[in-house]
């Protein structure tokens, strides 16, 4: 017989992190309510990558999440399931007069040819999903009574009734009282700003921006051939890079084309641009990349921000905890931001499931912070470095050095023993 906990949790944010955490807490019999500012569950953007560590985290939370992931995951060819990306040079400025890539004369490689492959270090399931489709799968697992929509958080205060509860204040003038609040409200998190203050709370521009777009797979195959269009590709260049990956069960090729600038002054992080501006950023690149950019149907620029380091992920009086992008928003250059959010959910939901009273919540948040903060903060730092690596800013344009750096870069993310991390968290919680 299951008994409900003598406390209740408010989750702020109904994206992938908030929905995943809610599922984990419900499985642990923790009463939970989701507060989402939009009129329905919502995700922005298209492609979302999940590496093997992400899927192992899903398994720790609920087999139902794994089944939902399988229904919408898109992998490359069967023969390339272990490939994270095939790395190519896309920028023509890296070639000699004969069109051969400098440093690869012996191999006779030209712009667009495969230079090396980065492979997963184990054979666990991995792949890309469409954000909205994956969120739809998660929402199926959440009872209709759990979410409250149209609730934009403006403040959190401590209750005046002596309970030490948190009181959430919303823009529509309503309030809600809960034992603790978990902020899953993303990179522009209000919860983070309330907990850490405006300086540490706000994200900073990373020096990179991205054009994101979709190309129907039929069109992509005609342009690039089946192998390139239907598998994961990464094109290197000077102060820019481009990646393509299949999503929507292979019906669509997702494209993210990155470029650089020193500052971002527009108050909006997503702005519409012209095809001329997009093409001008890649004017010196080879025909493969320029044809991809030309075929992108959307004309949006996404400024890429990340969070400054957070000194702690939780606070008391009242109890507030940060999870996912609200805690450690990162650039996407190692394809692991969403995966870290799922890992957070696996650890925190189990810890809260073990809590037996209100006092245990502080212990759970402390254990979560101690286990998760070093790993997730490391991702923010190394992801920014990875963007520089792909854009000839970290190892220069030395392809051998780039390959060496790349081959040792991802294993700490992919090969994490999450059960061991969970055991360590429980040891801190109980100790």
- Per-chain mean pLDDT for the chain: 94
Return the percentage of the chain with pLDDT > 70, whole number.
99
Structure tokens at 127: 């792949």
Give me the half-sphere count of Cα atoms (radius 13 Å) on the Cβ side of residue 408: 5
Kindly list the strands in the beta sheet with 153-158, ordered across the sheet, starting from the edge strand earlier in the chain.
153-158, 166-170, 175-178
Structure tokens at 166: 């948190």
Instruction: Give the model's pLDDT for residue 46.
Output: 67
Write the pLDDT tens digit of every residue in 266-311.
999 999 988 899 999 999 999 999 999 999 987 789 999 999 999 9
Give me the half-sphere count of Cα atoms (radius 13 Å) on the Cβ side of residue 415: 9
Mean pLDDT computed over 118-135: 87
Euclidean distance between CA atoms 283 and 288, whole angstroms:
12
Residues 389, 314: contact at Cβ < 8 Å?
no
**Does 343 score more than 60 pLDDT?**
yes
Higher pLDDT, 330 or 198: 330
Euclidean distance between CA atoms 344 and 86, whole angstroms:
29
pTM, two decimals, is: 0.95
**Does 72 score more than 60 pLDDT?**
yes
**Does 231 score more than 70 pLDDT?**
yes
pLDDT band for 405, please (50, 70, 90 cuts): very high
Residues 322, 310: contact at Cβ < 8 Å?
yes
Query: Catalytic residue numbers?
Result: 212
Question: Which domains are present in the chain?
Answer: 9-73+126-203+307-391+421-430 (3.50.50.60), 83-119+204-306 (3.30.9.60)
Higher pLDDT, 49 or 344: 344
**Does 1 score more than 60 pLDDT?**
no
pLDDT band for 2, please (50, 70, 90 cuts): low
**Does 42 score more than 80 pLDDT?**
no
User: Which helix or strand (DSSP H or E) is residue 376 part of?
Assistant: helix 358-390
**Does 351 score more than 60 pLDDT?**
yes
336-363 burial: b if 16+ Cβ within 10 Å, else e: bbbbbbbbbbbbbbbbbeebeebebbbb
Paired with 181 in beta bridges are 10, 320
**Does 45 score more than 70 pLDDT?**
no
Q: What share of the chain is helix, strand, coil (3-state, %, to 5)?
A: 40, 25, 35
- What number of other Cβ atoms are within 10 A of residue 154's Cβ? 12
Euclidean distance between CA atoms 416 and 56, whole angstroms:
9
């Amino acid at each position: 017989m299951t008994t409900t906990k003598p406390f209740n949790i408010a989750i702020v944010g109904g994206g992938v992190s908030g929905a995943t955490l809610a599922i984990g807490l419900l499985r642990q019999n923790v009463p939970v309510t989701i507060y989402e500012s939009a009129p329905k569950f919502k995700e922005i953007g298209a492609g979302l990558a999940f590496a093997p560590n992400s899927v192992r985290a899903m398994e720790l939370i609920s087999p139902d999440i794994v089944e939902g992931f399988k229904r919408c995951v898109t992998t490359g060819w069967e023969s390339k399931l272990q490939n994270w990306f095939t790395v190519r040079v896309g920028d023509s400025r890296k070639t000699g007069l004969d069109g051969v890539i400098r440093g690869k004369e012996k191999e006779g490689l030209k712009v667009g040819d495969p230079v090396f492959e980065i492979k997963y270090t184990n054979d666990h399931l991995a792949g890309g999903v469409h954000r909205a489709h994956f969120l739809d799968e998660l929402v199926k697992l959440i009872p209709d009574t759990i979410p409250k929509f149209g609730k934009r958080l403006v403040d959190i205060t401590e209750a005046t009734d002596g309970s030490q509860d948190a009181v959430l204040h919303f823009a529509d003038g309503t309030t809600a009282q809960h034992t603790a609040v978990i902020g899953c409200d993303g990179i522009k998190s209000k919860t983070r700003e309330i907990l850490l203050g405006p300086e540490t709370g706000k994200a900073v521009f990373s020096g990179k921006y991205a054009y994101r777009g979709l190309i129907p797979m039929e069109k992509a195959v005609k342009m690039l051939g089946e192998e390139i269009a239907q598998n994961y590709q990464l094109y290197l260049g000077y102060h820019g890079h481009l990646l393509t990956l299949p999503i929507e069960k292979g019906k669509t090729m997702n494209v993210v084309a990155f470029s650089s600038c020193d500052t971002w002054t527009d108050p909006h992080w997503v702005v519409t641009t012209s095809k001329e501006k997009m093409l001008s950023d890649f004017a010196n690149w080879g025909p493969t990349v320029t044809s991809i950019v030309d075929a992108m149907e959307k004309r949006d620029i996404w400024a890429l921000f990340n969070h400054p380091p957070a000194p702690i992920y939780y606070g008391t009086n009242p109890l507030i905890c940060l999870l996912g992008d609200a805690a450690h928003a990162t650039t996407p250059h190692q394809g692991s931001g969403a995966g870290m959010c799922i890992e957070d959910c696996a650890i925190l939901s189990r810890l809260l499931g073990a809590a037996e009273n209100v006092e245990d919540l502080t212990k759970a948040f402390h254990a979560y912070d101690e286990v998760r903060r070093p790993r997730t903060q490391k991702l923010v730092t190394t992801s920014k470095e990875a963007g520089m690596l792909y854009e000839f800013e970290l190892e220069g344009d030395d392809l051998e050095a780039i390959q060496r750096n790349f081959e040792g870069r991802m294993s700490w993310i992919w090969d994490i023993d999450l059960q061991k991390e969970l055991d360590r968290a429980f040891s801190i919680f109980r100790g």
